[in-house]
Structure 1
Amino acid sequence: MDQIKVVIIGAGKRASEGYIPTIQTLSDRFHLAAIHDIDPDRAAAAGAQFDIPSYSNLEEMFSNVTADFAIIAVPALEIHQATMDTAEFDLHLLVETPISIDLASADQIARIAKIHNVKLEIAETYYRRPHERIKQLMIQEDVFGKINLAYCRFVGKGYHAASILRSYIGFDIPPVHVWGHQQDFQVQPHTQFPNATDKTDTECWQHGVIEFRDGRRAVYDFTTLSYGSPLRWHRSKATTEIYGEKGMCVGLEPMILNGDSKTHPIVIRRQETVIADVNVLEAYVAETKPKIVWENPFREYPLTDSQVALALCLTDLENAIRNDTDLEYGFLNARTDREIDLAIGASADNNGIGIEIL
């Protein structure tokens, strides 16, 4: 099988710590042809570090490099322009989150992808993480019955949380109303990020409620201190909860009634191996009857769980390109999750008034 040729737009942390190591580990499937950044020094540094051609001019790069798809890995405020510029070279696109800063810009990205007849996938990794995959599989196997309510705290910014919550309720169930609230609080002054020059002395809590067309709901809580702050447990203690007709799941601790009015915990076991000093997930196994197993499709590669989620994004687009198949997540889901995120903020800015979406 020929390698898929990839270029990366943006030479920041997301590229250097996420995409590049993952692509180079999957070198039997992907070839990293070049990296681009508008900052020539940053582009050159990434090129030297990873031994790949680097450019600061798109036209120059594509006059020298052939690629099948481009990864847009620039900061959020630059995603729209970088995607619009790159699409002009008729490349399939894997775009970082959020898809854009507003819905009008997101729709422009979708239109230009259609004009150039290219695939457009969004690199939403949160719901693709292995520990989420086993829960999604248990929901599909009806372990918990119909999911009535889903909840997450500290998981990530609104669009990330929306993707996880909708993966529990069902991506095919439209959200229809959103309510939001947020409030600032004073906290002990502290350094939130290692390289910060100023101390943080405030915290903003945001809360959102999402109602779906069939009446089910999802709830979201997030604090600005969940990123980096030593004052909060941040995302290492992120919580997701699923409440269904026949049982529930908090994190990776499910339980069901099993028809006898007694609580029956279900054990989820993590099976690992070590490859090149990396603890590699082989599978998650839920001790149901029969057992439910999610096998890591990349268990033969030295990839961390986070890199597995990125690899699922990459191979989703690879498969769509090779076989002209539909994308797993795609533009519509990315737009919906961003719409939920923006609506929570808009509701919070208007004293919690409900906002109708879709």
Structure 2
Amino acid sequence: MQARNTLLRWRSLAVYLLVAWSLSALIPSYLAIAPPRPLLGDPQLWTLSAGAWVEGDHQKLTLAAATPGAHWASRALEFSADAEFARIGFCLEQAVPPETGAVLMASVREGQLDFNRQYRVNSFYSGELGECFSEAIPRRAGDGAAVFQLQLLQGPAALSLETLTVTPERENPVWRITRMSMLLLGLGLLAVVLSSYRHERPRWLVFLGMVIVVGILFGCCVSVSLKADIYALLTGGRSIDAGVSMDALLEKQFPIGGFSLFTYLHAVLFCGATFFLALARPQGWIDMLMLAPLTETLQLFVPGRGPGTSDMLVDWTGVALALPLVFLLRRSQRVRALLEH
């Protein structure tokens, strides 16, 4: 009966997931406030690392290097004060072997070129001929000029793009209302599912499981800026002193990295929540299994965030790690006696 009720509760959330993805496909998240600005243009506009060179025109751009190691080409970008996002779009002119390059952007803020809040556009570890990428990088009040960088991760190599544009954008007002409504609705439906645990015993198991679930939800619904601030607090952050001139910033290589710390932390949190809730209720692991796609879907409605299949697989890995221990403990008569009282 409990398993049947669990599946029935999640049926409503399955409908929510379907509606959420449909709305995200139908309603544009951002609106352009100016035409796309092409960044191919004159190769002389780029600042290059030693051993690299740029070839191209308004139709194509190629970054090449004949020496080993990482190489890059950088240029400065200016944005108007009303630009809430900067969308970088590019298409590969040729197929790319694994771990070839990355397209990056960071903005000057509070005297630093900050990679914690605005960082990666896309790291293409492999790409097909003509494959295109697009990503909107959030900007905040107080952000100054941005530095755009095209990197070759391992030379000697060449990277050719047939399209490279930047478009200033703002959030679509219709989408803003939609995402806020859907975020509240999703959290409300999840609260209904979790409220069913209030009758389970022992209460301390349920309490610990719920605390971890709250941590999971905080991690998936927190803004990019706050997530970056937490990352900087835990790791010291990644930035370049912008007290020097823009010319000096253009000559510095961007660090490669991201928020992988949080990805692994999610696996640990899902493992812990599954352990406590599955001990309190045998079918609790099903709730945690379904929580993974829900949390990824909720990120559709958080500005600057987005869902990821790999993140969901990491969450499920955490669930799978907890299940053998739960199974073994439930076979113990002493543990069963403890859970029944």
Q: Which has the higher helix share?
A: 2
Tell me the TM-score normalised to structure 1 length: 0.24
Tell me the TM-score normalised to structure 2 length: 0.24
Between structure 1 and structure 2, the one with the greater Rg is: 2
